[in-house]
Amino acid sequence: IMGTGAIANFAQALKTTPGAVLHAAASRSQASADAFAKKHGIARSFGSYEELAADGEVDIVYVATPHAFHRDNVLLCLGAGRHVLCEKPLAVSAAQVAECVAAARERNLFLMEGMWTRFFPVARAIRKAVAEGAIGKVVSVSASLGFKLEPSFNPRLYEPALAGGALFDVGIYPALWISMILGTPSKVTAHAHLLPSGVDQQTFATLEYEGGAMAHLECGFTGSLPNDVTIVGERSLSTSGRHCSPSLAPLLLQERRDTSGRAGRRSAPRRTRS
């Protein structure tokens, strides 16, 4: 594990993963690395990221550093021949992501962004339902994630030098859902409320797609948003509440009324819990 902040407590999950050995942890200081290793029962600890990348017994590195450093840390690991799982977002620009992907392909190494939401049973169920035409052609997707957050809770989220802001930290979740269902948009229009530091406290975006489908994304630290995803098809509606939580994400598929206002044939809503 590269980085020993709060997000690195992913170590708990690694310890219960069949076939995985949590071999080493690295921080920018030896003291932090030692404390983290002791807490999680890790054999080795390093006071620099370079030492971890150079350890020949490491197969794959989980990059758990702040957003702004992901690109450099990923390239460091790939350059040393290590596979990489990187905490989201993989990088802070499309150009940086392309650079990381190119480096992994050049060395034939595994590289993945750590978006666990993609693997939730509810996410799989929704993708399967959409792919099988359960709701008809998708015409729109709306997804949101936001809550009231004071700067004192986590100052990193308000620091431009650390790639803070709502879009990078929580907006990536609704963006993932929209991407999973509709793919790459042809046009994006976004509006944000920027703090004096330059980071976004709240962002709204409209995404347009070839064929006419549209999507709406909301994220922010200003107040509680619905925190759900709604996928509208030509025949039915699919919704998922608390879409970023693996244990609190019910799936509802519901048939819609026809254009005359008459209720069509209606099946019982299907719910599935992760």
Active-site residues: which are they? 88
75: enclosing H helix or E strand: helix 70-79
Radius of gyration of the chain (CA): 21
Residues 274, 246: Cα–Cα separation, whole Å: 5
Per DSSP, the residues of 83-150 read EEEEESSS-SSHHHHHHHHHHHHHHT--EEEE-GGGGSHHHHHHHHHHHTTTT-SEEEEEEEEE----
Q: Which tokens hold the place of 91?
A: 């990088």
Residues 28, 4 contacting (CB under 8 angstroms): no
DSSP, res 66: -
Q: Which of 201, 38, 180 shows the shortest CA–CA distance to 120?
A: 180
DSSP, res 268: P
- Three-class HEC string of 1-64: CECCCHHHHHHHHHCCCCCCCCCEEECCCHHHHHHHHHHHCCCEEECCHHHHHHCCCCCEEEEC
Residues 96, 74 contacting (CB under 8 angstroms): no
Residues 238, 2: Cα–Cα separation, whole Å: 38
CA atoms within 13 A on the CB side of 224: 2
